[in-house]
Amino acid sequence: MAEGDSADPEGAGSRRVKGVREATVRTDSPTLDHGASTRLVVSLAEVGLGSLAEVGGKNASLGEMIRRLKPQGVRVPEGFATTAAAYRLFLRANGLGPALERALSGIDGSDLEALRAAGQACRELVLAARLPEELIEAMQSAYQAMAGPDGQPRAVAVRSSATAEDLPEASFAGQQETFLHVVGEAALLEACQRCYASLFTDRAISYRQHHGFRHQDVALSIGVQEMVRSDLAAAGVMFTLDTETGFRDVVLLTAAYGLGENVVQGAVNPDEWLIHKPTLEEGYAPLISRRLGSKALRLVYGDAAAGEGPAVRNESVPEEERRRWALTREEVLTLARWACRIERHYSEQRGTPTPMDLEWAKDGLSGELFILQARPETVESRRGGAVLRSWHLREPGGEPIVTGRAIGSSVSGGLARVINDPSEIERFQPGELLITRRTDPDWEPILKKAKGVVTDQGGRTCHAAIIAREMGITAIVGTGEATRRLQDGQPITVSCCEGDEGHVYPGLLAFEVREQHLEDLPRTRTRVLMNVGNPEEAFQLAAIPCDGVGLARLEFIIANQIKVHPLALLTPERVASSREREEIARLTSGHDSPTEYYVDLLSQGMARIAAAFHPKPVILRFSDFKSNEYARLLGGAAFEPKEENPMIGWRGASRYASPAFREAFALECRALRRVREEMGLVNVIPMVPFCRTPEEADRVLAEMAGQGLVRGEKGLQVYVMCEMPSNVVAAEAFAERFDGFSIGSNDLTQLTLGLDRDSSLVAELFDERHPAVKTMIRLAIETAHRCGRKIGICGQAPSDYPDFARFLVELGIDSISLNPDAVLSTRLRIAEIEGELVGGVKQRDELTTSLAK
């Protein structure tokens, strides 16, 4: 078993709370008028998903995991819970019910002053009341049973769990209070009473009204668990889907140093990983993406145990620690495996796929991992799939004022309102964009009026991100400097439609929203594939019905994410510019070596595209920069020749076996091998571009084999681009060396017609439909099929020209790969063409039969 996967009957997470006295209240008690006998305190190990009404969603879920998932190695801190009956006993014993009902009667959640007054009145009533003696005794008994071998009281976490909490209709995330590092009976009882009072914070009252819960129908259970000493290690959040796109096949894991509240509340920018679930469950290690966070603060224990100061406090994290990952690779994989087990169990229990929202922590004393909370994810998992909605800027935004993590993919424009505290709500007008350091549940009345939110702090799992998704507003988190760079009242556009990185542009930019209807799409014999360049868009693009990826380009990853010429990483001493050397050093810091930086980022980009469309085929083309394009990368000028016509110069296959580039190509092979063999994404099919001769193909295949990529071994297929007349004329020889062809219609057109497609002087002559080009395409398809090889085309001509699409379908081409915006319309056109062709054949056959008779 992997680290953390074995059950641990003697570990900290497996200690059962023994000796819990199940105090009960009988029907003849003057404080209750229903039930035969009702428990006030119960061990978490004795509750489960069927206990929702008794202990609320959070505690019922904890009990379910302790009972059902602990045998599978999932560690959960044990403890006890007060019940909903205990809360109602508290209200009745103090006569609070009628007073609270009067205070909340007729409250309008949009009347913020009235909301504040009502909330304050309710909290004062609760805090002034006394806990019933029988409840106090039951809690003291349960807490004493948690004492360590030395008899000293343990530090515990005291968490609220509303009985309507974590139902599908609402997340209730963060609506009631949690108190950490609570030590001693007096502190425990005080924390419990404050939990009861937190049921009447302004935000909790407003949230219940917004979601249609009657105040009197919601009761509060309190969970008491032994503290996991993550103050000495790390903690964070996991989702069993991608929170921005709803893509179901990944675990999103975030981590920061110290107690996990900093991650939940967005006080830090955490480390982040994406793990591919299907191949993880097959035994691979598919860390398809990782991003190092700044982790500037660490939430640790305060001096409350000594009777001084707060229970927890933040401290600054030294710079050296910030540059390190908060978790090891094995710890990430262990948590991801647990997430998969939890999701599978909850899906089975609910009878429907149930993505999960989880909190976890690592104990710094024992080194063990724990799950602290588990609840169904309530936003992306419930979105309808019949319509694909996408946002697009109609004009370039120029240089953004600030950037951060994009939440969702929408765009919003309006006036920036810089607010540092929710008490300034009067300054905020409906439709404005909230600019602040970070948010917590107190900000929700403002967020309900906002068109979007931009924060200095936080990651994809922080409060601002979760609530923005739930409310459907545009959000960018973790900008670091939005409150400083954006001016109060400044017109801005907040754009999340350009990938994982969100941009805030000056002014109000024009944008459009496009909708594509996905229902009842016909199946086609001709496979309809997609061209993908940006890995950050892959999860969203995978929602478009298609048969895989016909062209995944490495150039986007190299130019936009790596940014450095591979030879500048292999031989940095040849880079003359000190500025470039410093920038390369900055980019590669935190990696084992400069070349590992290249392989790591390249493999992540490959893997993200492959995972998005898994198990469908993803044809990934090796790098095909021209020399002038490579020269523009950092350090590139030192390694690239100046060619008169780079379009037909040192590019594609001619580079791979060249002594001047062989080591750089080896990095691409290492990245591909990592994706296939370590991550298990064997749906990736590498493709060699611009391969002029069969002899050149032999040299490239030999280079690949030298790097462990042997065609035919471990299911490895290799394709070749068919983009030169030599590829068509010698197609039989190429078919002996490759498993498939992809027609590159742009290069094939320019080289067949003898023109430079970058030259405006001959641009009007460029036409894929020219008879000479169509003859080449016909020969290529016929030869490939005669040799038993698949052949497709990647280009826009089939979507731009219906007659060209018909030409390809009539020839029996195996696949057509298109830009994402053309996939659906072209699929419909192909289905229509295929229907007409089948109908024509059927009609001809019927006529022939009739004549024969």
Active site residues: 463, 794
| Pair of tokens at residue 546 | 């298609």
Distance of CA 840 to the CA centre of its chain: 48
Question: Which residue in 84, 88, 98, 122 sits closest to 202, CA to CA?
Answer: 122
| Pair of tokens at residue 814 | 């195996």
Half-sphere exposure (Cβ direction) of 467: Cα atoms closer than 13 Å: 32
Pairing outcome for strands 719-722 and 740-744:
parallel
Question: Which residue in 221, 211, 263, 243 sits closest to 444, CA to CA?
Answer: 211
Separation between Cα atoms, residue 556 and residue 499, nearest integer Å: 12
Distance of CA 153 to the CA centre of its chain: 40
Separation between Cα atoms, residue 686 and residue 708, nearest integer Å: 13
**Exposure b/e, 544-576, CB count within 10 A at least 16 = b:** bbbbbbbbbbbebbbbeebebbbbbbbebeebe
Separation between Cα atoms, residue 462 and residue 272, nearest integer Å: 12
Question: Which residue in 44, 302, 269, 357 sits closest to 179, CA to CA?
Answer: 302
Separation between Cα atoms, residue 53 and residue 81, nearest integer Å: 13
Separation between Cα atoms, residue 615 and residue 49, nearest integer Å: 34
Rounded to 10 deg, the angle between the 112-128 and 202-210 helix axes is: 120
Separation between Cα atoms, residue 592 and residue 572, nearest integer Å: 15
Separation between Cα atoms, residue 231 and residue 239, nearest integer Å: 22
Tokens 């909370």 belong to: 373
Separation between Cα atoms, residue 334 and residue 317, nearest integer Å: 25
Separation between Cα atoms, residue 274 and residue 272, nearest integer Å: 7
Tokens 């591909």 belong to: 672
Separation between Cα atoms, residue 584 and residue 850, nearest integer Å: 76
